[in-house]
Amino acid sequence: MEKKLGVYICGGCGLGDALDLDSLAKVATKEFKVPVCKQHSHLCGAEGAGLIKADVDQGGVNSIVVAACSPRVMTDVFDYGPAVLLERVNLREQVAWSHPAGDEDTQMLADDQLRIGLNRMKEMEPPSPFEGENLSKRILVVGGGLTGMSAANEAAKAGCEVVLVEKEAELGGYLRQVAKLPPSQPPYEDLQDVDLPDLIGELTGRSSVMIYTGAQVASIAGAPCMFDVTIQQNGSQAAERVGAVVLATGSVPYDARKLDHLGYGKLSDVITAADLEAQFKAGGVTRPSNGQPV
pLDDT tens for 248-288 read 999 888 999 999 999 999 999 999 999 999 999 888 899 99
Residue 292: other Cβ atoms inside 10 A? 8
Distance CA 28, CA 197 (A): 77
78 burial type by CB count under 10 A (0-12 exposed, 13-18 middle, 19+ buried): buried
Residue 2 dihedral angles phi and psi, to the nearest 5°: -85, 115
**What's the pTM?**
0.58
Amino acid letter, residue 146: L
**What are the tens digits of pLDDT across the range 150-208?**
999 999 999 999 999 999 999 999 999 899 989 988 999 999 988 899 999 999 999 99
Distance CA 269, CA 136 (A): 53
Please answer whether residues 214 and 231 qualify as being in contact, where contact means their C-beta atoms are separated by less than 8 angstroms. no
Please answer whether residues 56 and 64 qualify as being in contact, where contact means their C-beta atoms are separated by less than 8 angstroms. yes
Task: Please report the domains of the chain, with CATH numbers, ordered by start residue.
Answer: 5-123 (3.40.50.920), 139-247 (3.50.50.60)
Distance CA 131, CA 262 (A): 60
Distance CA 197, CA 131 (A): 43
* Helices first, then strands: H and E counts in the chain: 7, 13
